């Protein structure tokens, strides 16, 4: 439309009466839509660790916690994010922290299976054993503050092709 003059007539018809010429500075290009990364299912949990408080459950202890969850959940440490550490000592009358965390999985069935595995590990003592093996030697007990919940990935809108002109 630019090269053949059709765009100038359209613009003048829309009220741009002072327009004298329209030229094309750059040829148009078609850009494919960005393909977003595949959605992942998130398992959210909160576990109470007795024997630690905010001062003693630092970065190294959090790293050991993530490593233990990765081993039990059969996933990568990069799939795990500690989302909060809250000192519960005053409420529980014992030195303890609640550790909230999220573990991401590629599909729904794996997320459900691993959520059950992690719930069982907390309740059955497997998590406590793994945490001690990872170096959390001050740990006296592990309980489940909040059972696992699974969040489905948000599906982005379909990608659209766009034409860019300058």
The pLDDT tens digits of the residues spanning 145-163 come to: 888 888 887 665 555 555 5
Given this model, what pLDDT does residue 37 score?
47
Q: For residue 55, what is the enclosing H or E element?
A: none
Mean pLDDT calculated for residue range 125-154? 92
Distance CA 75, CA 101 (A): 14
Given this model, what pLDDT does residue 36 score?
43
Distance CA 62, CA 53 (A): 12
Q: Of the ranges 20-29, 53-62, 94-103, 120-129, which one carries the lowest mean pLDDT score?
A: 20-29
Given the candidates 3.40.50, 3.30.70, 3.30.1180, 1.10.20, the CATH classification of the domain at 41-151 is: 3.30.70
Mean pLDDT calculated for residue range 64-79? 96
Given this model, what pLDDT does residue 34 score?
45
Sheet holding 96-105, edge to edge: 80-87, 96-105, 41-50, 141-151
The larger pLDDT score, comparing residue 67 to residue 28, is at: 67
In the predicted structure, residue 47 carries a pLDDT above the cut 70: yes
Distance CA 115, CA 146 (A): 12
Domain ranges for the chain, please list them: 1-31, 41-151
């Amino acid at each position: 439309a630019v090269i053949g003059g059709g765009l100038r007539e359209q613009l003048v018809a829309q009220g741009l009466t002072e327009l004298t010429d329209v030229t094309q500075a750059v040829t148009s290009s078609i850009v494919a839509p960005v393909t977003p990364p595949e959605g992942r299912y998130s398992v959210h949990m909160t576990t109470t660790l007795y024997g630690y408080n905010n001062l003693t459950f630092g970065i190294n202890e959090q790293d050991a916690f993530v490593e233990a969850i990765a081993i039990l959940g059969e996933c990568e440490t990069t799939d795990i994010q500690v989302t909060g550490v809250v000192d519960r000592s005053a409420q529980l009358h014992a030195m303890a922290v609640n550790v909230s965390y999220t573990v991401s999985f590629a599909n729904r069935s794996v997320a459900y299976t691993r959520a059950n595995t992690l719930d069982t590990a907390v309740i059955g003592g497997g998590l406590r054993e793994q945490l001690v093996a990872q170096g959390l030697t001050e740990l006296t007990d592990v309980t489940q503050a909040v059972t696992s919940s699974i969040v489905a990935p948000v599906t982005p809108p379909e990608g659209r092709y766009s034409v860019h002109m300058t």
